[in-house]
Every structure is written in structure tokens, then in C-alpha cells.
Structure 1
Amino acid sequence: MTSLRRTPPASSTGNMSHKNYDSDTLSERGGNDYVRQKRRRQSDEDIIMLSNKIDQYFSELKQQNAELRDSLQFMSDKYDTTLNMISKMEEKRLEDKKQIAKLEERLEFMIASIEIRNIPSSSKENKKKETKEDICELVQGFAKTLSVSLNESDIKDVYRVTTNKETIKPIIIELNRPRKPVYVSEVLTSRTQKIYHMARQFVKDYNYSYCWTSRGTIYIRKTEGEQAIRIESEEDLNKLKLKQ
């Protein structure tokens, strides 16, 4: 007969140990999952924070670029405006230069030339054609009447000019250039003459560049291009002194 061997029952202590091991393993796995989830959440939060910072940085950078672009555009517009102003000023300077040349030429002619009107021709009395010598004698006689010394050597040329309105032709006397400069100024009242003298002294003392009269009114100017200042009384000069 075959003998049967009875398998002893499993020890209750071994089962308990196995159950405890499974429980610890599950707890450890749960703890690891929690840590991983926590780290994952922390990593996500860090990524979001970093992304926000990057967005903020680029937003500020865009704003700075926009401001820089606006500044560059402003400077470009100002540069174009300045070039335009310089171009216009240069054109104005050339026009003024031409005008000054014309005025100097005209002034030179005015200083060296005299026009006399309503002196009848000597040819009517002598019944002969009037010559240059006749006109010269008329001019010298006219100067003598005015107590003005006018020698024949002072006269460069003398002639009559034709006009549409006058029956007696005016006489033009071209004089030789005087050795001394000729100054032409307005006739001012004694009060205006006194203020004009004070204004010229003020211009010298306070480094102003210009002082002149126009139609009996006194003007001064600090530098070229500035607005002219009208001087009507000594009080106007005193006010300007207080501002210096």
C-alpha cells in the first residue's frame, strides 16, 4: 500500500508576514505616487511662472521697441523739418544777398548822383541846342544859389533825361566819388534825437548789434534775426537795462 503524507497546514505567522509586506509595498507605492504628483505639480507651476515671466519680458521688450521706434520716427521728422528749414533759410539768404547787392548798387548811385527838376533849358533863351557845357553852367549856377561849392572837377557827367509827364526834362548830375564817406540820416525832433543818442549808447554798452530810425521811430536789435525793439522813451531803455 502506498503511504499518504499529510501536508501540514500553512503557518498563520507566514501569512501575516506576507500580508504586511504587501501592505508596506502599497504604502510605499502610494507615497512615491504622491511625491511624483507633487513634483509634477511643482514643475508645472514653475513652467507656468517661467512662461509668465517670459511673456512679461517680451511684452516689455515690445513696448520698449515701440517707444524706441516712435522716438526714432520723431527724430527723423525733426531732422527732415530742420533740413527743410535750413534749405529755406539758405534760399532766403541768397535772395537777401541779391537784394542787398541791388540796394548797394542803388545807394552808390544815389550817393554819387543828384537829380534836379524844373530847371528850364538854356536853349530856349539862346535858340540853340543845349550842350553838356550849358547844363553844367546851369547846375553850377543852381549850386551857387544854394551856397554849395560845386566845381567842374566835381562833376563826372551831367545830362537831361526824358520823361512822359514833365515838359522840362530833369537834370541828372553824376559826381565823382567823394573822398570822405557820406552819411544820410533822417531829420529828427530834438526829443527823438536825444533818445536816439541814448539808444546808440545803450547798444554799445549792452552789446546790441543794431540801432536805427525809420520814419521818426527808433529801433534796436540784439542780433541778426531777432525781433526789433521799438524805443519811444528813456523809460523803454531803463526797462531793458533791468532785464540785462
Structure 2
Amino acid sequence: MSLSPNNKFHSDTDLHKTDCSELNTISRKRRHPASEWSEAIAELSREFKNTLSDWRRDLESSVKGIADNVLSIKSDLAALTQVTSEIKNDIQYLRSEQSVMKQRITELDTKYDDLAREIDDLKNSVQFLGNDQSDLSKKVGECSERMRESTNTQHTVVELVSKIDYLEQTARSCNIEICNVPERRNEDLMSLMTNIGTSIKFSIKPSDIISVKRVPHAVQNNNKPKNIVAKFTSCILRDNILSASRLHKGLNTQQCGISGTSVPIYMHEHLTLKRKKLFRDCREAARIHNYRFLWVKNGTILAREREGAKSFAIRSYQDIARIRSGSEIKQVAADPAN
């Protein structure tokens, strides 16, 4: 192995071996005239100035654009600020409204709770009333049933009263009631009846009379003489005596042989208390409404407004109401003129 130095990197120390002509040639090539350098520098300066001018124009354009953008941004910021202010105001208003709404909701909650309690109370009351109504309905049903029974009972009572009145009147069909005859001690009523028959020119014999007596007044404090009731043997005889008394007209105590002041004597059919009261009320209604004729035949009250008018029967107070209205409710074939 050789220990000689590596010849890869070596320098030639012998400068003299270099060609001087070559050096001169190189030096001549590097030299330039002054005008070329001036022109190069001027060209470079112009290019640099143009470049700077372009940069300045670009920079100014950019700055102007930036300024415009800044102004636009400022305008937008101002508008945004106004919008933001309005939004803040709206938010403040909404907050106040929200506060009011919360308060109202709280009040509504309170009212709702109160209303719920009232509804519960009403439900309880309705339930209570429903129970009461159920009980009341039952009671009303019972009362209705009782009222129906009572109505039926009343109808039955009315019918019974009418039947009793009819039977009582039938039992009096042969009776004559004589009013306003002065009372005397130990008076002879049979002789009185005979004298009355003589006065009306109709013979009344003791055998025609079943009974004759005075009857008490319906009202205890009546100071008038007690009426005399005479019961005859037949209805025909009774009717004939009444017809004779109507034809006689003006019978009085003096004509019948009764001493003292002469007073008129009245004879009519013997009516029950119910029919007497009805007859009194009929006379009052007839007087008010100018009915000229009012009489009793066979226990029935008859009325006629004037001559030639139809006569009708009065059997109840409803018939008196019809008299007051001027209506004739029933024509009766029987007429005292016939």
C-alpha cells in the first residue's frame, strides 16, 4: 500500500506556468465603459422608480379601498349601533312586558287557584243540591200524589156536599118558609097558616099541614123574628099556595089577624143554607147589573134580565160570574108567567 498523498485535491504552486496572455484577455473582458454603467444604473433607477410608482399607486388604491371599507364599516357600525340600541330598547321593553306578564300570570295562577276552590265548592254544593233535589223530587212526588188524592178527595167532598144539599133541598120540597112574622108568646102557628090561606084566598086546612114551627137563625146575633117553616102534604099543594101568595101581593100581619103594627110577610120556598146564601149573592149581582127578574122554582134559582129575554139557572158562584158578564148560560123552560 502506497503512502503517497492523494492527488485528488492538489494545487499547482507554479504560477509561472499560467499564460499571462490569458490573464490579460480576461482583464480586458471585465472592463466596461462608464457610459454603460451609467445607463445601466439609470435604467435600473427608472425601473425601480416605476416599480415604486406602481407600488405607490397600488398602495394608494389599496389604502383608498381600505378607507372606503373603513367608512363603510363605520357606517355599518353606526347602523348596527342604532339597531343594537333599538334591540336593547326592545329587549328592555320585552323584559318589562315579561315582568308584567309574570305578574299577571302570578295573579292568574292565584285566581285560578281561587276559581278551582270555588269550582270545588260549587261541585260540592251541586252534589248537595242534587241530593236535596232527589229528596225534594221524592217529596214532590209524594206531595203530588197526596195532592191528587186530596183533589180527588175535594172532588168527592164537593160531590158529597152537592148531594147532601140536593137531598136536603129535596127533603124541603114540600116546605114553605114564612119570614118577618112577629113572635108572640103561646102563638098558634096552625091558626096563623089558616089565616094566611084566607088572606091569599087559598084554603089551607090543618090536615094539609104536616108540621109548622119556627126555626133558629143561621146567625146567632140576628134580631129579626125567627122564620116559620110549614111542611105540607104534597109539593103540588105547596106550589099552589106560593102561586096564590104571588098573585095576592102585599101580604101583611094585619091581614093575617096579628095585632100590632102592620108589617109585610114574605113567603117563599124553604131553601138550604147554601142556596140561601147563593140567592142573596145573586140578588146583589142582579141589582148591580140591572136584572129585573130573579126567583126560585123547585129549589133552583132562576134569573132573567128583562121581559122577553131568556131565563137561566144559577146553581153555583161560577154562574153568578156569568151573570156579571151578561151571559145567559142556560135556558129554562119553566117560567113563572106560564
Q: Place the TM-score, normalised by the shorter chain, in its bin.
A: 0.3 to 0.5
| TM-score, structure 1 as length reference | 0.37
TM-score calculated relative to the size of structure 2:
0.29
Structure ID, larger Rg:
2
